Amino acid sequence: MACPWLIRPFINPRAQFIFLPREQIMDFVEKTGAIPFGTGTGIKLDHYEEGDIKHCIFDAIVRKYNLFEDTALVELQKVVRAVDTSGGLEREPLAWI
C-alpha cells in the first residue's frame, strides 16, 4: 500500500494501478507502456540488495525518481523498508508502532 501512496502525490497524480496475473504483466507492459513494480519478473522497480541492506520496492521507486530531497519521505522510506524486508526492524524503532 505504501507504493501506490508514494506514486500518486510524488510521481503521477493520475497514475492508475492495474493488477494482473504474473504471466500477463510483460505483455501488458509491451502493449501499453505501463511501468510495472513489485512483480518479481526481473524489472527494476522491485526488491534489491546493496551490501548487507535489503531494499524494498518503495526504495526502488524513491531511487528511480530521485525523491531524496524530501526529508520526511526519506524517514518514511526507512520505516517502510524495515517493515517490508527481513532484518530491518531492529534498525527502525518507528516500524514497531
Instruction: Give, in degrees to the nearest 5, the angle at Cα 25 between 22 and 31.
Output: 165
pLDDT of residue 53: 81
Tens digit of each residue's pLDDT (9 = 90 or more) over 7-18: 999 999 999 999
Q: Look up cell 493488477; give the residue.
A: 19
CB 73 within 8 A of CB 10: yes
Residue 32: pLDDT above 70? Answer: yes
Give the pLDDT mean for 22-32: 91
Residue 67: pLDDT above 90? Answer: yes
Sequence-ordered list of residues with C-beta below 8 angstroms from that of 66, at least 6 positions apart, any chain: none
pLDDT of residue 41: 64
pTM of the predicted model, to two decimals? 0.81
Q: What is the mean pLDDT of the chain?
A: 86
Range of the domain at 52: 2-96
CB 79 within 8 A of CB 95: yes
Q: Look up cell 509491451; give the residue.
A: 30
* Count of the separate structural domains present in the chain: 1
